[in-house]
């Protein structure tokens, strides 16, 4: 049995990942906030977007190459930042960075990752992005930018949709704290997942290594939604974005944009692209579906647009492109794949998406992503 016959879809990887992760880890990765209405809304609104199939268009091989920010990439998707990736699977950041370098797709390291920029430096390809949760202190800010540059990160992503910690009730109920502490309750869950437990025993429980330089050592544990990063960060304003534009000399992306009226002011500051995202439903449970925000923002700006939130296959990537996306990023699916199958799972997921994109483009008669038909509404 091949991987493609056993795990032909992201849903299959998700099911296997859940079986291999302790419950508290699964709740951290898979949960949203509130009643998880925004997470469900992302799925419902993606499903409402149709495209008219084509007939009699002859044989062709779909071309998946995409130009974004002046770089020609072989695939129209990359790896979004996920905080504490190393909690999902041992050395997750390293595995993801190496796979991204091998396949020439972007990898985005989170500020609150379990490995530091310096840890990842030997494993990065030329398309490495660094996601910043905004430090309040100017000296820390400058140092963080210098470390990212020295490690080989070429693109900066400022996340602006986390002004305060969200509730994430499922995650809180799981008993997870930051840094993770294995209470008797959590140890009982770990004992049932030997592959995860063995890997963690070899590497040690993950911690936010990139922030250790700036945070005081403390024996107290914070809630899983108010980790050490909140001791440093601020809720940024427009002047903060201007400061970053003045001090970062590579592409600057703003992640978490949902309002069309924010596009023009950001363009005037000089940002290079907008990342349309509702944080996959993890921050605010009354947010619009990201795909609806994408359509509205597309009509309000000429800036390149990235899309995420709710992608579950190649067809969803095409839906995003037909609604105005210039590039797509995925977070949870890459962690499902890694937890399900180890490092080979990442490359398997990339193959799943590649095959799904080609199959659906064949149905649409779209030789390139620019040939996609206009979207239609499905009831």
Whether the CA torsion 5, 6, 11, 17 is positive or negative: it is negative
Query: Is-cis flag, bond preceding 179, omega within 30?
Result: yes
250: alpha, beta or left, given left = phi > 0 and alpha = psi -120 to 50?
Answer: beta
| 123 catalytic per annotation | no
Taking alpha carbons only, the member of 269, 141, 279 closest to residue 211 is: 141
Q: Rounded CA gap, 36 and 280, in Å?
A: 10
What are the residues whose beta carbons fall under 8 Å from the beta carbon of 122, sequence distance 6 or more? none
Helix (H, G, I), strand (E, B) or coil at 169: helix
Rg (CA), the chain: 20
Contact, 303 vs 253, CB < 8 A? no
CB 357, CB 99: distance < 8 Å: no
Q: What angle do CA 210, 212, 213 make, to 5 degrees?
A: 90
User: Given CA atoms 252, 256, 261, 262 in this order, what sign does their dihedral have?
Assistant: negative
Q: Using the 8-state DSSP alphabet, how is residue 188 labeled?
A: H
Q: How far apart are CA 242 and CA 54, in angstroms?
A: 46
DSSP 240-304: HHHHHHHH--S-EEEEEE--GGGHHHHHHHT-SEEEE--GGGTS-TTPPPHHHHHHHHHTT--S-
Q: Residues with Cβ < 8 Å from 130, sequence gap 6 or more?
A: 108, 109, 111, 117, 148, 153, 155, 156, 157
Contact 206, 86 (CB under 8 A): yes
Supply the angle between the helices 343-364 and 10-20 in degrees, to the nearest 10. Answer: 160
Catalytic residue (choose from 23, 95, 227, 279): 279
Catalytic site positions: 279
């Amino acid at each position: 049995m091949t991987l493609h016959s056993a795990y032909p879809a992201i849903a299959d990887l998700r099911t296997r990942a859940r079986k291999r992760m302790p419950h508290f880890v699964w709740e951290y990765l898979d949960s949203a906030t509130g009643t998880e209405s925004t997470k469900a809304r992302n799925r419902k609104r993606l499903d409402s977007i149709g495209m008219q199939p084509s007939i009699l268009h002859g044989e062709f091989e779909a071309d998946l190459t995409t130009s974004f920010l002046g770089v020609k990439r072989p695939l129209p998707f990359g790896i979004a930042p996920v905080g504490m990736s190393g909690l999902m699977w041992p050395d997750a950041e390293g595995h993801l960075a190496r796979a991204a370098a091998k396949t020439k797709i972007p990898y985005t390291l989170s500020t609150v990752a379990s490995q530091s920029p310096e840890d990842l430096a030997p494993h990065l390809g030329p398309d490495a992005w660094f996601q910043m949760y905004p430090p309040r202190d100017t000296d820390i800010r400058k140092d963080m930018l210098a470390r990212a540059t020295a490690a080989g990160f070429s693109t900066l992503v400022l996340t602006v949709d986390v002004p305060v910690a969200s509730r994430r009730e499922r995650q809180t109920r799981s008993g997870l704290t930051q840094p993770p502490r294995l209470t008797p309750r959590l140890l009982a869950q770990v004992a049932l997942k030997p592959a995860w437990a063995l890997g963690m025993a070899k590497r040690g429980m993950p911690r936010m290594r990139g922030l250790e330089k700036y945070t005081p050592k403390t024996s107290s544990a914070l809630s899983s939604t108010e980790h050490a990063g909140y001791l440093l960060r601020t809720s940024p304003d427009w002047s903060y974005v201007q400061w970053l534009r003045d001090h970062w000399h590579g592409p600057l992306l703003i992640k978490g944009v949902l309002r069309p009226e924010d596009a023009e002011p950001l363009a005037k500051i000089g940002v290079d692209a907008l990342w349309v995202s509702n944080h996959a439903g993890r921050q605010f449970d009354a947010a619009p579906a990201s795909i609806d925000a994408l359509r509205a923002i597309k009509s309000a700006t000429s800036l390149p647009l990235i899309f995420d939130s709710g992608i579950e296959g190649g067809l969803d990537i095409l839906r995003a492109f037909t609604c105005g996306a210039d590039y797509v990023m995925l977070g949870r699916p890459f962690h499902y794949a890694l937890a399900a199958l180890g490092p080979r799972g990442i490359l398997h997921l990339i193959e799943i998406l590649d095959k799904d994109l080609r199959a659906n483009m064949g149905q649409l008669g779209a030789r390139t992503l620019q040939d996609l038909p206009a979207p239609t509404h499905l009831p």
